[in-house]
Amino acid sequence: MKVAKNIMRSAMLSTISVASLGLGTVAYAQDQAPAEDEAENPYEEEIIVTATKREQTLQDVPVAVSVTTAAAIERAQVRDLKDLQTLVPSLRVSQLQSSASTDFIIRGFGNGSNNVGIEGSVGVFIDGVYRSRSASAISDLPNLQRVEVLRGPQSTLFGKNASAGVISIVTSEPKYEFGGSAEISYGNYNAIVAKADVTGPITDQIAFSLAGGINKRDGYATNLTDGSKTSERNRWFGRAQLLIEPSDSVKFRIIGDYDKIDENCCYVGNIFDGPTGNAIRAVGGRINSNGIFSYSEFQNFASENKITNGGVSMQADFDIGAMKLTSITAYRESRAKTNADSDFTSADLIGQNRGNVGIKTKTQELRLTSDFDGPFNFLIGGYYFDEDITNQQALTLGRDFRNYADLLSRNPATPTVPGAYVALEPTIRFLAGLPAATPTTQFGAAGQGRFEDWDYKNKAYSIFGTADFEITEGLTLTGGFNYTKDKKNVASNTTSTDVFSRIDLVQVGVAAGVPATLAANPTFNPFLGLRALQFQTPFLNFPNAVETGRTRDGKLTYSARLAWEATDNLNFYVSYGTGFKATSWNISFDSRPFVADFIAGSPAQVPAPATSPIRTAGLALPNLTSGTRYALPEEATVKEIGLKAKWQRVAFNLTLFDQSIKNFQGNSFIGTGFVLTNAGKQSTKGIEFDATVNPVDALQLRTSFTYLDPKYDSYVASAFGDLSGLTPAGIPKLSATWGATYTAEVGGGTELIFSTDYYYQSKTTINDNPVYRIYKREVSDLSASATLRLENGLQFSLWGRNLTGAKYLTTIFPSVVQSGSVSGYPNQPRTYGVSAKFKF
């Protein structure tokens, strides 16, 4: 009840604040501004969206959707999807350790980075084509028409993985009138963004468009080891389109695109220099202790991020009387090659952390939409998805790891005496039955490590549809459904050459004379104190005699909505919906057999480990532990009440919602790897509000906010213990934007446009680990621009982002192989620059 009262109170206050801004309203999203080619009186224009796969005005579409136009994106100097969150408070985008690792989160729900086996709970679609992984969805945004952010489960309209929401990017079609634009921008850090596009007719029935651009910038962080820069930008793209209309009832749109990223990314700073810091310095390494906001670090080699994306698609539309048949066919390829000094120090602890991921995706959507004059209309469709992924990873020990591990294993009382890792190596090898060490086989030798080779195949199909029935004038009942069938086959070929990680220290203890009944107890078996250094243990590959490497999921989801057009200015709706995301596989070295298949323990201990299928089949390996191979499917539900209001100069939208996901798929980093688990249930209650006010033609005021009350209703088996009842980390209670645009007529068709946007996130914890809940994030980001637009198509702009120079943490995590230390990612510092654009 308390939450409901807070929500209602916020709703009332927000409505009062809008009323105080001016009289009368317009139907714009919170980030809508007049586009460059709009009519003289922009407030009479309607925003057309396709959130329900029908063309409707933003005012009429009865769903929770935010629309950001190309003009708004240009005004705010949004470079890619990561910047878009400053305009859409319900959206959060986090970039992690590489250019290919990005999380998209809506209303506090989202995942998908750091493991290619995990598809995002937020689906990303570009011109109707699904981008299954973040590496294929982060490229620059060319020829934009708008970006629609649909909040809440969207499974009944989108065929694949939309349990938390959808980001739908819509680009401009080719035009039959010759035209185009060219733009160049220069900013601090030697940032250069250049884009150009051209469109025009080939014949009366065929039009084309071509676009291309580059996005380059020096790094804003410094590697103190050699003075090189990191967190740079080095990207380019090309895109070609054909629009073929052989008749008034047939249209084909063909798109081909290719983009490439080759950059040193991403800066990681030290937040807390823990007890391992002295050992790193003792082997000659350096750490920029507690210096995350100095934007400087020590690394012994530069990171590598080479990503290519490309594909072709064709949308075919056939008007068949009062119905339209639409087909969208696409083929895409994505490849990401990465390498990083993952210990983020100048010591060579982790030698290499290489990745080579290849993704090939084929999709086909077919849908039939009616446009009858009567009270009944429908949409029925089918979707097919076929994806192959190859994933090769390698993590090797560096030349300093052996000495580092020895220092960690020393007795604090006698710090000059070699530690057990080195001093006891001959004894341990003898007791374990290993031959004498050589330079390449000694414990912790450089080049030892884990080498992974994964093959992942996913085929899925779905049937979906909606039906609208107008009960009476202005009152419409809508029902929707989706049935999805998802099949995944996964195979691993992974090896570990880490000699020490293969040794059964319980067996060593027994061989040294520790009673077998006590050998599994660290109090009586001193060798077990070295277990923390065994983080690359032998890997049980699958499929095997026990584990099939297959999952088969199927789910029917549905939605119901009642929409009421109360007046020409007021629309109300109430809805209930469900969503689904299929099983996600842990395609990494951290994948482990389920407890049902294997009970861990040493065969040398007494009593012996309980019988389990893997042990019975003779597949048990030294130091094999149990965990998860995959996370169960997500099942989402949402209840919403919405209001959309539009008058001449003011518009506002209000949504109250209660959303939850059962079996939410969480992927948590614990310092030496990731743990993939299911939360029993995660829920969020909240309110979303956005408004635009135009007190006079020249001035637009806009505001929006999202209030969230998230909770882990049940999360017993998280990587950090039982989190049930706690607030999920990284989800602010309040996210808000305020903005204004003023357009002054200078004379002779020349305009001077001033615009500013302020983005705020309330203070929140950053990591679910209870140890790290002392670290908070609060976001305060101001951007602004001034543009001189001439009648001849030329325009010149000054712009800036994060103008106040705010500094805050975006993500934190335990430092790699440095127990007790904390690392993290800071926000991007202040950026500013000038740009020139010519439209013809």
Distance, in Å, from the CA atom of 146 to the CA atom of 48, rounded to the nearest integer, reads: 10
Specify the pairing of strand 91-95 against strand 630-631.
unpaired
Rounded to 5 degrees, φ, ψ at 322 are -90, 15
User: Which helix (H) or strand (E) is 281 found in, with range?
Assistant: helix 277-282
CA atoms of 3 and 686, how far apart (whole Å): 9
Mean pLDDT value across residues 453-463: 97
Residues 603, 507: Cα–Cα separation, whole Å: 8
pLDDT score of 758: 95
The two structure tokens encoding residue 184: 């160049």
Q: Is the pTM of this model over 0.85?
A: yes
Read off the pLDDT of residues 301-311 as tens digits, 9 standing for 90 and up: 999 999 999 99
The average pLDDT across 701-711 equals 95
Look at 81 and 218; give whichever has higher pLDDT: 218
High-pLDDT (> 90) share of the chain, %: 77
pLDDT in tens, 772-817: 999 999 999 999 999 999 999 999 999 999 999 999 999 999 999 9
Res. 36 pLDDT band, cuts 50 70 90: very low
Q: What is the mean pLDDT of residues 549-569?
A: 95
At residue 28, the pLDDT reads 34
Residue 129 has pLDDT above 80, yes or no: yes
Q: pLDDT tens, 596-636? A: 999 999 999 999 999 999 999 999 999 999 999 999 999 99
Q: Is the pLDDT of residue 13 over 60?
A: no
Mind listing the pLDDT tens digit for each residue in 719-776? 999 999 999 999 999 999 999 999 999 988 899 999 999 999 999 999 999 999 999 9
Sign for the pseudo-dihedral over CA of 430, 436, 438, 439:
positive
**Residue whose pair of structure tokens reads 């959808």 in the numeric block:** 166
**Lowest-pLDDT choice from 115-124, 391-400, 532-541:** 115-124
**What pLDDT score does 813 carry?**
92
Backbone angles phi, psi at 449, to 5 degrees: 170, -160
Please choose, from the candidates 11, 19, 31, the residue with its C-alpha nearest in 3D space to the C-alpha of residue 700: 31
Name, in order, each residue with C-beta under 8 angstroms of 669's C-beta and a sequence gap of 6 or more.
Answer: 114, 813, 814
| pLDDT, average across residues 72-89 | 73
pLDDT at residue 362 is higher than 60: yes
Residue 68 confidence class, pLDDT cut points 50, 70, 90: confident
- pLDDT attached to residue 40: 36
- Tokens for 260, please give them: 């490439």
pLDDT, position 88: 79
pLDDT, mean of residues 497-506 = 97
Q: pLDDT for 186-226, tens place per residue?
A: 999 999 999 999 999 999 999 999 999 999 999 999 999 99
- Residues 6+ positions from 451 with CB-CB distance below 8 Å: 393, 394, 494, 495, 496, 497
Mean pLDDT of the chain: 89
pLDDT at 10: 39
What pLDDT is stored for residue 115 in this prediction? 85
Mean pLDDT value of segment 570-578: 95
Listed in sequence order, the residues at least 6 apart from 188 whose beta carbon sits closer than 8 Å to its beta carbon are 830, 831, 832, 833
